[in-house]
Amino acid sequence: MNDDPTHRLYLDALEEALAETAAGDAPPQAPLRPLTLTAARARRRPAASVSGWTAPFAGRIAAMDALLGEAGEDDWGRETVEGWTLQELLAHLAAKDGLVALSAGAPVLGPPVIADEALARTAELQEYERRRVPEQTRRDWRAQADALCRHLAPLPPETPMTVSGFTMPVADHLLARMLETWIHTADAAGAAGVRLPDPVPGHIEPTADLCVRLMPLTMLMRGHAVAEGRAVRLVLTGHGGGSWHVPLHPGGRAVREGGPAGAAATGRDTRGGGPADATVTCDVIEFCFLVGGRGEPARFAAGVEGDAGLARDLLHAAPALSGP
């Protein structure tokens, strides 16, 4: 809008009006602030948490809900991804949040869970939601996510949890839910032609960290028998990024380097585990989305130094855990 001369002129004239009035006018009455915040909360529910390890997930739920607030009748019926309408996509997210809730002993909304498996539960919930109006689907999806957040928040983040046969710390399960909610919100925003703001850097960082730590597993899943001692250095650029030393043998534990992204210059890791065979540098959000199954590994924009074959295997294997 700043490219339009008429609008620029209009804004400059408004600034001029303000410069003239600011001195003479008393500010708005103090009680207006709390009144405004209270009324705002009633119109759009705030995130279920804004601090602690559940906050990145809660933030993505709130952002998706804001996008849903923009949706008109056309949008609900429009195909988003996987051949699903927005309502079906939301049922899919609710289904997977529900399976985490099931494992955690939190309330599970919707019909009783018959199959503790993502796609089967998705089909169950989509069938159920198709008979309801989109607003009901939206309300239950949000209630499920918020209930899950409230239930999990008091737990230590490293508490092991098994969801659909997959065991990780509970915080990692919720970060995986964050990533999926983020990616599907981007899918829906793209279908509606809306620009989605990025999560705050503090929410991107732990999500990227999870994605990096999954690399030894994705390599294994794609059949790469990596010998102990082989490692890459992953440099994720942009807000919420950083650098990691990633041993790629089965069970290898990625270590985040101290300092901000790009601080250390070489492939030699500073804290844990010797030299790296390759350094892969790419955008942190693009990397998260690659792990989440968005983007073509063959065309992925990454700077590679060192063992190009190993770097290629890493990028091609990265989406191995992504499902619909």
Partner 1 sequence: MEAPVTDDRLLHQRIAGGEEAALGELYDRFAPLVFGLSARITRDRSAAEDITQEVFISFWERPLAFDPGRGTLRAWLATIAHRRAVDHVRAQERRKASVLGPRLVEPEPERLEDAVLSRQEADGVRLAVGKLPDDLREVIELAYYRGRTYRQVAEELGLPEGTAKSRIRTGLRRLADALTEEGA
For binding to partner 1 (CB under 8 A), which residues are involved? 1-2, 4-18, 20-22, 25, 27-29, 32-33, 35-37, 39-41, 43-47, 50, 58-63, 65-67, 69-70, 189, 194-201, 203, 237-239, 241, 260-262
Q: How far is the CB of 25 from partner 1 (least distance, A)?
A: 5
Which run of H or E residues covers position 232? strand 231-237
Structure tokens given for 46: 């705030």
Task: Decide whether 10 or 166 has the Cβ nearer to partner 1.
Answer: 10
Residue number, 142 or 224, with CB nearest to partner 1: 142
Q: For residues 105 and 182, give the distance between their C-alpha atoms in angstroms, rounded to a whole number.
A: 24
Q: Taking the complex as a whole, how short is the minimal distance between the CB of residue 258 and partner 1, in angstroms?
A: 16
C-beta closer to partner 1: residue 200 or 321: 200
282 forms beta bridges with 236
- Give the residue with the Cβ less far from partner 1, 6 or 225: 6
Q: Please state the closest distance from residue 236 (CB atom) to partner 1, in A.
A: 11
Question: 65 vs 313, which CB is nearer to partner 1?
Answer: 65
CB distance 286 to 280 below 8 Å = no
User: Could you give the strand order of the β-sheet that contains 278-283, starting from the edge strand earlier in sequence?
Assistant: 255-256, 242-247, 231-237, 278-283, 303-306
3-state secondary structure of 304: strand
The three-state DSSP-derived secondary structure of 111-137 is CCCCCCCHHHHHHHHHHHHHCCCHHHH
CB of 68 to partner 1, least distance (A): 10
Beta pairing, strands 231-237 & 166-169? unpaired
Q: Minimum Å distance from CB 230 to partner 1?
A: 30
Of 160 and 262, nearer to partner 1 (C-beta) is 262
Residue position matching structure tokens 């829906």? 188
Choose among 113, 98, 105: nearest CA to 143. 98
Task: Give least dist CB 276 to partner 1, A.
Answer: 21
Between strands 303-306 and 278-283, the pairing is antiparallel
